[in-house]
Amino acid sequence: MAAEETTTTAGEAAPGLSLQDLASVVQVIDLCSQRGAFQGSELEAVGGLRGRIQAFVSANAPAEEETKEESTDNE
């Protein structure tokens, strides 16, 4: 029964996240921090999460040279 719940039908798309979504999360954290949405005791945990997300985005983002080469190849 568990296998039935995890499969999706042909008309449904599986949920996913892109690097742009994660970069947006970092921006939201920064904005919330600037506006004072976090208490002092929460800052360490929030900052750690922000750092891990930012590191993941940076490590998985395509390099500038690769992006330029791909656009040149497509022309």
| Predicted pLDDT of residue 75 | 52
Could you give the CA distance from residue 17 to residue 56 in angstroms, rounded to a whole number?
A: 13
Q: Kindly state whether residue 50 falls inside one of the protein's structural domains.
A: yes
**Would the pLDDT of 1 be above 70?**
no
Could you give the CA distance from residue 46 to residue 35 in angstroms, rounded to a whole number?
A: 14
Q: Kindly state whether residue 21 falls inside one of the protein's structural domains.
A: yes
Domain that holds residue 37: 17-63
| Predicted pLDDT of residue 9 | 61
Q: Kindly state whether residue 26 falls inside one of the protein's structural domains.
A: yes
pLDDT tens digits, 10-66 = 667 888 999 999 999 999 999 999 999 999 999 999 999 999 999 999 999 988 765
Number of domains in the chain: 1
Q: Kindly state whether residue 12 falls inside one of the protein's structural domains.
A: no
